[in-house]
Structure 1
């Protein structure tokens, strides 16, 4: 089958699939009061996920990223990974996690077939980490990263949401940390959602400030891979690790969009900041619905617009990033 494409000619080899909208952290930029409302028990089951990913694979999707909320809160998480990994055409199964109990669980994740791991660490200072996330679990997460390397994972990506005068001033500590290990440290520009307007106004800092510091220190921007996420990555000859920057407020950010999103309840969202999703769950109840499901996906793609309009203050229906994994 011909691959998915939208009216702008963009193709989509990459799907971000939320497994739950429940999260057990209370990060101040996302869920400062904790996860008060969620639909965890109504999430897609393993059979529905298999049918969904099989359809997307048939139209050119090669990479699946499992997100949440926190995806590992699913008791069947390992079964989901192994099921997706077995689907023909899927070349990479990745996951974004807050690292909860990662030191105890990462071996089972990798044994299930997980290929790539993104872990959220917004500060390497234990006190700052706890202030941001509401949990004193930094050492547990760092131990989990060490175990992932020991179990054979070749590299790991670590995400930090940039916040003014909180962690943007810790660039030196992050760079020292990745100097001798294969970690890609990704700085994500704080995005405004429906629930964080005042927080955004106080803490937003443009990602280009980090970029300028990197260039001054001799870092060089790398070419992007076909199934790469939105980050531009930088390398330095003296560092084993890399740095990635995700700057959604920069000009032409959406020009190279290559990913789609499906919520934990089976709604296809054309953008993180879409007003609402398109229900696919009704077509996930039987294997015989695959052709209709593929036709529906293609039809919905015709509605994808060329940008997210974040720079104009538009946040769509996204009240917080835990709704569909950021």
Structure 2
């Protein structure tokens, strides 16, 4: 089992398979994707080795992220490799959903168990203003198809000051009949968005207070779940989650590690640097890679220090998929 010096156990790997994204979200890539790194992304056999190593150390959940993971043509094959690795029982992806209706069945057939879709607004004009794309109807159609296929579906919405009240009200109405988990995520400061962060950051704490006042009840987290505080209500088909990285003790329940599309281990989304695993990955030596992972985990810090303005090596969230 992967365990750090603070007693935290790591059941969950977030694996980026590309840093390329075709959206231009205001809070992440307002100028679009800039090709400023080599694009020699991990290949299928390398992903195989990496996932085997993590699975042998107790990882049970893999989330495939980007950038936008569906930009890789071999995404179904990657899902299949992960799904057929002994010990891995949950395979998820996070996507912007731009081709969801036409792709999601192939992902499900390959072994996908859950899907996270980024959707910051239910208002088509706001959605277009935030993302740079008029794709809301496509994404909504894709969500319906994913649910029909039996996938567990979550929708991610970044809390943004100009829209926060309207975001909450419109999503609450939508969740009356929509059996998904809607997760509001506090905007996080990165290296490239500091001015935007200062103008647009809003805390999730008032949303939590409002939910509790309206009869929503917090539910227990699974061992391999992400960092969201999740709430349910008997009158709603869907649930609400809150991801509040600036809240007290947010890092105390950390259970996830990240590997970049270039094969670098990031002990935290806001770590100062990625730790290169690729030379070992390329040898195919799973036991040696496992020894390296155990050794590197000893360097994981107690906190991300976001509240002190630390952003580490994370220039934007597309680097590691958040």
Common topology (TM > 0.5): yes
Distance 1:40 1:76 in 2: 19
What runs of 5+ residues in structure 1 fail to find an aligned partner? none
Distance 2:262 2:172 in 1: 39
Out of 86, 95, 104, the residue aligned to residue 88 of structure 1 is 86
Q: Aligned residue for 1:299?
A: 295
Instruction: Decide whether the 8 Å contact of 1:184 with 1:244 is kept in 2.
Output: yes
Distance 1:177 1:39 in 2: 40
SS in 1 for 2:39: helix
Q: Deviations 1:223-256 (Å, cap 9, x if unpaired)?
A: 1111110001000011110000000000000000
Q: Deviations 1:63-91 (Å, cap 9, x if unpaired)?
A: 00000000010011000000111110001
Q: Aligned residue for 1:245?
A: 242
Deviates more, 1:213-222 or 1:135-144: 213-222
Q: Aligned residue for 2:140?
A: 142
Alignment of 1:1-326 (within 5 A): 3-39=1-37, 41-153=39-151, 155-287=152-284, 289-326=285-322
- Normalising by the residue count of structure 2, what TM-score does the alignment of the two structures yield? 0.98
Q: Deviations 1:300-324 (Å, cap 9, x if unpaired)?
A: 0000010000000111110000000
Q: How many residues align?
A: 322
Displacement, 1:216?
A: 1.5
Q: Deviations 1:250-304 (Å, cap 9, x if unpaired)?
A: 00000000000000000000000001111111011233x1111000000000000
Q: Deviations 1:193-247 (Å, cap 9, x if unpaired)?
A: 0000010000000010111111111111111111110001000011110000000
- Normalising by the residue count of structure 1, what TM-score does the alignment of the two structures yield? 0.97
Instruction: Decide whether the 8 Å contact of 1:122 with 1:167 is kept in 2.
Output: no
SS in 1 for 2:294: helix
Distance 1:231 1:37 in 2: 32
Distance 2:37 2:45 in 1: 18
Distance 2:183 2:36 in 1: 28
Distance 2:301 2:39 in 1: 32
Instruction: Decide whether the 8 Å contact of 1:119 with 1:157 is kept in 2.
Output: yes
Instruction: Give the 3 Å change call, closer, same or farther, for CA 196–65 of structure 1 in structure 2.
Output: same
Displacement, 1:40?
A: 6.8
Distance 1:126 1:91 in 2: 36
Distance 1:39 1:84 in 2: 26
SS in 1 for 2:91: strand
What runs of 5+ residues in structure 2 fail to find an aligned partner? none
Instruction: Decide whether the 8 Å contact of 1:23 with 1:68 is kept in 2.
Output: yes
